[in-house]
Amino acid sequence: MGIAFFEKDKIFKLDTPSSTYMIAIVDEEGFLGHVYYGKRVPDENLSYLMRTREAPFTPSVNNRDRASFLNTFPMEYPTHGLGDYREDCLSVLTQAGHSACGLRYVSHRIFPGKPKLEGLPATFGGEGDCTTLELLAEDPVLQLRVVLRYTAFERLDAVTRSVVLTNGSEEPLRLTKVLSACLDMDNRNFDLITLHGAWARERQIQRSPLCRGRQSAFSVCGESSHQEHPFLALAEKAATQDSGEVYAMNFVYSGNFLAQAELTQFDSVRAVMGIHPYDFCWTLAPGESFTAPEVVLVYSDSGLGGMTRTFHDLYRGHLIRGEYRDKPRPVLINNWEATYFDFNTEKLIAIARQAASLGIEMLVMDDGWFGGRSSDDCALGDWQVNENKLPGGLRRLADEVNRLGMRFGIWMEPEMISPDSDLYRAHPDWAIRIPGRTAVRSRNQYVLDFSRREVRNYIYECVRAVLKSANIDYLKWDMNRQLTDLGGIALPAGRQGELLHRYTLGVYEMQERLVTEFPHLLLENCSGGGARFDPGMLYYSPQIWCSDDTDAVERLKIQEGTALVYPLSAMGAHVSDCPNHAVGRVTPFETRGYVALAGTFGYELDVTKIPKEDRDQIPGQIALYHRYSGLMRQGDYYRVASYAENHGYDCWMVVSKDKQEALVTYIQVLGRPNAHSVRVRLNGLDESALYRVEGEGQEEQVLSGAALRCAGINVGGLWGDFRGRLIHLTAERT
């Protein structure tokens, strides 16, 4: 394991438990070529894979065909303007207006552990967890130095990449494109897997054959977005949940991104990922550096399930921080769908009183408690409590809630400003906008210019004052619009293209300050539902609100797509009221509970108003949550069946790391007449162990892990639509 440099062959070999990533220095030219990525191989020279000797594209033998060579050579970090016409990663504009760039290897460093990325979220690991390779390359004409950084993890099949550029010249350079990673491979009849969506329909899995040309997922709206997701996977056509090779890339960033796969003329594939070049231009003064965010590469030779479990382990162990990473989260009740803006202390206390008697552990007060806010058209930025709604302020409310034995949490939207707010009247120039142009309103609000320190400082002090004003244990940090009118008044004309990235860095800086100053706070990120559910935000908050769609059936698809990459411990999921507010569907309370158990678990309803028979189920649901929350947060996730694929039922399983216990959740979406039970095969158990299989309505059995995997169990007898069942497996003591 680790990283080795083979001097004679000029090869770097990065090994993880089951994968190898190989880079070569092409001697004649100093190019950094990508040799191999895939299943782990012995220490051998595989540089023939780069095809440098195949006519007519030989670099130093036939210089006239350099363009052809560069257009086919598997470059580790391809650059612009010298003949590689596939998607490149780096484009630099000189003062003379030229944009060509070519990199040559200079030196390298290999060391244990993983350095931080300044100002950016990133995975972390100590000296026993991972090894890092830094490859220094330069463009001698531009005097631009580029450090390509790779970290290989010891116990996980993950390699991370990032890039640091330094201007060693005497003149400013303009970076017009800096992607973070490129992966060139031969096509193996790959499918491309991406996550697409919309508000209330986030992260739906799309799997389609990789076609000629370029297929991308991207965001250009200033956040990772509802619509697309900074993730792509190339899976062999035959790859299933349990078998086949999969290569995945995930971007640890929350702003604009490009995730693209390209199938070229010679059947090779180029996959790239990084900050989207649209609206991006960064001036690098002499001596300055720019750091491109991290891309996580995961290789799996055990199908999509293997990929998923590597991401879950990596993010649980090496990305999510803070005390809540490993702690059960309090069962909370949020008043958003219960009251929207129409609440006061009395109403909230009534909800809390009832909730406390049922075992709910925290009340979260959502939007509408501050300034004159009684709808979404005002007051963002006025972070003073509305005493008309909450006489005695936050302290009185929080104290009352605490007296009921519950904790108290609050909602804020720090990045926003309403045109109708005291803050806007005092500082109209703090909103992102272009002078002379009427700015676009979205949800009646503008975005604060978080690229500016004074704006961040002011808002940070507001957040701080709120958190210090009462006993507040939880903060939901919301963000409810995308960015437009990209004008930053603090930036000169030539630096307007820096606004979006500086904004994202500003958000990160704010959240870093917050988690440092309030280490006991449970932070949940949110963006109009799940528009910023990405690894960047996970670095700051151990959980993220998954979607504003809380319907149990819609959630099956949203949570399946989210769990493809992110651990269940991170998925904000609540039981809400019916008819569901997003789709008008009525599902059994029990089933809503089963679906929410696959996430952080909580309630999003007026517990004083729901039917008694639903309310009576709450203590039992909370008991289930406590019983299984450790397993759900820390176990291995297996996707057993997908409603999105079969249109009938959904099934997932979580197996404890020691394989002593597992919980299967089965949801029958639509009942079918005259149907046999459904056979589900349960992977991931200890094949030689015997398991007791139990569940309400389920035939009790004792079966071996091998039988459960190969033969499976029958699930039947569910009568009606939207019915669910939990099936618990425990290893029998021998």
Measured from the CB of residue 533, what is the shortest distance to ligand DGJ in angstroms? 11
Q: Does 301 bind ligand DGJ (CB under 6 A)?
A: no
Of the candidates 459, 379, 457, which has an alpha carbon nearest to the alpha carbon of residue 422?
379
Q: Does 411 bind ligand DGJ (CB under 6 A)?
A: yes
Q: Which of 138, 223, 367, 554 binds ligand DGJ (CB under 6 A)?
A: 367
Measured from the CB of residue 507, what is the shortest distance to ligand DGJ in angstroms? 17
**Residue 130 and residue 114 in contact, taking contact as beta carbons nearer than 8 Å:** yes
Using a 10 angstrom Cβ sphere, with 0-12 exposed, 13-18 middle and 19 or more buried, the burial of residue 73 is buried
CB-nearer residue toward ligand DGJ: 194 or 445:
445
Window contacting ligand DGJ (CB under 6 A); options: 264-272, 523-531, 533-541, 606-614:
523-531
Measured from the CB of residue 293, what is the shortest distance to ligand DGJ in angstroms? 25
Q: What whole-number distance in Å separates Cα of residue 198 and Cα of residue 547?
A: 10
Pairing status of strand 446-447 against strand 416-417: antiparallel
**Residue 129 and residue 118 in contact, taking contact as beta carbons nearer than 8 Å:** no
Q: What whole-number distance in Å separates Cα of residue 445 and Cα of residue 372?
A: 15
Within 197-302, strands assigned E span 204-209, 213-219, 231-236, 246-251, 257-263, 268-274, 282-284, 289-300
Measured from the CB of residue 616, what is the shortest distance to ligand DGJ in angstroms? 26
Q: Scanning the structure block, which residue is given the tokens 């309630």?
A: 603
CB-nearer residue toward ligand DGJ: 478 or 636:
478
Measured from the CB of residue 441, what is the shortest distance to ligand DGJ in angstroms? 15
Q: Does 102 bind ligand DGJ (CB under 6 A)?
A: no
CB-nearer residue toward ligand DGJ: 296 or 463:
463
Of the candidates 714, 715, 719, which has an alpha carbon nearest to the alpha carbon of residue 672?
719
Q: Does 533 bind ligand DGJ (CB under 6 A)?
A: no
Residue nearest to ligand DGJ (CB): 367
Window contacting ligand DGJ (CB under 6 A); options: 156-164, 526-534, 684-692, 723-731:
526-534
Q: Which of 548, 549, 560, 614 binds ligand DGJ (CB under 6 A)?
A: 548
Using a 10 angstrom Cβ sphere, with 0-12 exposed, 13-18 middle and 19 or more buried, the burial of residue 624 is middle
CA 507 to mean position of chain CA atoms: 16
CB-nearer residue toward ligand DGJ: 294 or 554:
554
Q: Scanning the structure block, which residue is given the tokens 């440098």?
A: 52
Q: What whole-number distance in Å separates Cα of residue 66 and Cα of residue 71?
A: 8
Measured from the CB of residue 413, what is the shortest distance to ligand DGJ in angstroms? 7
- List the x/- string, 490-509, binding to ligand DGJ by CB under 6 A: --------------------
CB-nearer residue toward ligand DGJ: 45 or 374:
374
Within 422-557, strands assigned E span 446-447, 474-477, 522-525, 543-545
Q: What are phi and psi of 173, to 5 degrees?
A: -115, 145
Q: Which of 123, 241, 283, 480 binds ligand DGJ (CB under 6 A)?
A: 480
Measured from the CB of residue 353, what is the shortest distance to ligand DGJ in angstroms? 23
CB-nearer residue toward ligand DGJ: 463 or 631:
463
Measured from the CB of residue 578, what is the shortest distance to ligand DGJ in angstroms? 17
Q: Which of 336, 628, 652, 722 binds ligand DGJ (CB under 6 A)?
A: 336
Measured from the CB of residue 480, what is the shortest distance to ligand DGJ in angstroms? 5
Pairing status of strand 144-153 against strand 130-139: antiparallel
Pairing status of strand 575-576 against strand 602-604: parallel
Residue 437 CB neighbours (<10 A): 9
Q: Does 202 bind ligand DGJ (CB under 6 A)?
A: no
Task: At 610, list the tokens.
Answer: 């729901």
Segment holding 713, helix H or strand E: strand 713-715
Q: What whole-number distance in Å separates Cα of residue 264 and Cα of residue 70?
A: 13
CB-nearer residue toward ligand DGJ: 138 or 534:
534
3-state helix, strand, coil in the chain (%, to 5): 25, 30, 45
Q: Residue count at the site for ligand DGJ (CB under 6 A)?
A: 11
Q: Does 449 bind ligand DGJ (CB under 6 A)?
A: no
Catalytic annotation, residues: 478, 548
Q: Which of 528, 599, 635, 684 binds ligand DGJ (CB under 6 A)?
A: 528
Window contacting ligand DGJ (CB under 6 A); options: 109-117, 218-226, 524-532, 592-600:
524-532
**Virtual torsion, Cα 691, 695, 698, 704, nearest 10 deg:** -10
Q: Which of 526, 607, 631, 680 binds ligand DGJ (CB under 6 A)?
A: 526
Q: Does 545 bind ligand DGJ (CB under 6 A)?
A: yes
Q: Does 536 bind ligand DGJ (CB under 6 A)?
A: no
CB-nearer residue toward ligand DGJ: 306 or 330:
330
Q: What whole-number distance in Å separates Cα of residue 275 and Cα of residue 290?
A: 12
Task: At 619, list the tokens.
Answer: 């203590």
Subset of residues 623 to 652 that bind ligand DGJ, contact rule: CB under 6 A: none
Q: Which of 255, 529, 567, 684 binds ligand DGJ (CB under 6 A)?
A: 529
Q: Does 577 bind ligand DGJ (CB under 6 A)?
A: no
Q: Which of 245, 262, 366, 449 binds ligand DGJ (CB under 6 A)?
A: 366
CB-nearer residue toward ligand DGJ: 365 or 678:
365
Q: Does 386 bind ligand DGJ (CB under 6 A)?
A: no
Local structure of residue 445 (DSSP, 8 states): B
Q: How far apart are the first and last CA of the chain?
A: 36
Q: Does 478 bind ligand DGJ (CB under 6 A)?
A: yes
Subset of residues 38 to 77 that bind ligand DGJ, contact rule: CB under 6 A: none
Beta bridge partners of 699: none
CB-nearer residue toward ligand DGJ: 538 or 693:
538
Pairing status of strand 522-525 against strand 543-545: parallel
Q: Does 606 bind ligand DGJ (CB under 6 A)?
A: no
Q: What whole-number distance in Å separates Cα of residue 156 and Cα of residue 159?
A: 9
The backbone region for 444, taken as left when phi is positive above 0, alpha when psi lies in -120 to 50, beta otherwise, is left
Given the rule CB under 6 A, which residues bind ligand DGJ? Answer: 336, 366-367, 411, 478, 480, 526, 528-529, 545, 548
